[in-house]
Amino acid sequence: MRFFASDVQDKYVMSSDGKYLGTVDNLVVDTRSGKVLHLLVIPSEEVDIKKFKMDSKDRMVLPFKNVKSIKDVIIMSPLD
């Protein structure tokens, strides 16, 4: 799948069970391979951030491998 960071920036991120997680702020990319590793997501107020890995800017670090779909919103498969 090819896309630009601007294609996903500010998109809503939803869990596969329909919970709103937040909005995409940025991506973490492996500069050697060009593969997207993580989504950096500004959490919604309803999210218990203790359940997620967070970065120094209080964004959730969600593994890109858990992305099920990117359309109008991003759907994440369950995070282990």
Distance CA 49, CA 35 (A): 26
Taking 80 as the threshold, does the pLDDT of residue 2 lie above it? no
The pLDDT assigned to 80 comes to 64
Domains, the chain, with CATH or none: 5-76 (2.30.30.240)
pTM of the model: 0.91
pLDDT digits (tens, 9 = 90+) for 22-31: 999 999 999 9
pLDDT digits (tens, 9 = 90+) for 3-45: 778 889 999 999 999 999 999 999 999 999 999 999 999 999 9
Taking 70 as the threshold, does the pLDDT of residue 61 lie above it? yes
**Burial class, 27, CB count within 10 angstroms (exposed 0-12 / middle 13-18 / buried 19+):** middle
CB 4, CB 16: distance < 8 Å: no
